[in-house]
Amino acid sequence: MAIELQLLAWAVVIGLVQLGWAAAAARAQQGLKWAGGSRDEPRPVTGVAARLERALRNFLETFPFFAAAVIVAYLGGKLGDLTFWGASLYVAARALYAPLYASGVAIVRSLVWFVSMIGLFMVVAAIFV
């Protein structure tokens, strides 16, 4: 299997871990009784749980583009150094992003997000060269 597809699979794992982490943190604040009910009255989360929720939302904003780019590059026969390094940067940065966000590290977190976007743009660029 192409390494880029393996990296895509790892990105899925990162997303699932973030989903579980954010849900567990939210349930700790909101309670299982509320979570199992109709949720008619919202119970916003705060602190780490809110940061994890925002980190997950951020992941979900970029992941579809990454997945589409990797699949298009693969199907178009465009895999190479640019897609390898781009996908590697994206996955490594996304793996670091949520823990940094959860711990409240602001500037470094933003730089890590930027690195993930560079990786994504590298994969997209490979499609057109």
pLDDT at 44: 86
Rounded Cα gap, residues 30 and 10, in angstroms:
30
Identify the domain containing residue 107 by its residue range: 3-128
Residue-level pLDDT at 16: 98
CB 91 within 8 A of CB 59: no
pLDDT grade for 119, boundaries at 50, 70 and 90: very high
Q: How many domains does the chain have?
A: 1
The CATH number for 44's domain is: 1.20.120.550
Residue 85 — φ and ψ, nearest 5°? -70, -35
Q: Give the pLDDT of residue 83.
A: 98
pLDDT tens-place string over residues 46-57: 999 999 999 999
**101, 55 in Cβ contact below 8 A?**
yes
Q: Is the pTM of this model over 0.85?
A: yes
d(C-alpha 123, C-alpha 41), whole Å: 42
Proportion of the chain above pLDDT 90, given as a percent: 84
Of 121, 84, 120, 114, which is closest to residue 6 (Cα–Cα)? 84
The pLDDT value given to residue 76: 98
| Cα-Cα-Cα-Cα dihedral sign, residues 111, 85, 124, 72 | negative
pLDDT for the residue 94: 98
Residue 31 has pLDDT above 80, yes or no: no
Quick one: average pLDDT of 87-107? 97
Per-residue confidence band for 61, with pLDDT thresholds at 50, 70 and 90? very high
Q: What is the mean pLDDT of the chain?
A: 95
| pLDDT greater than 90 at residue 91 | yes
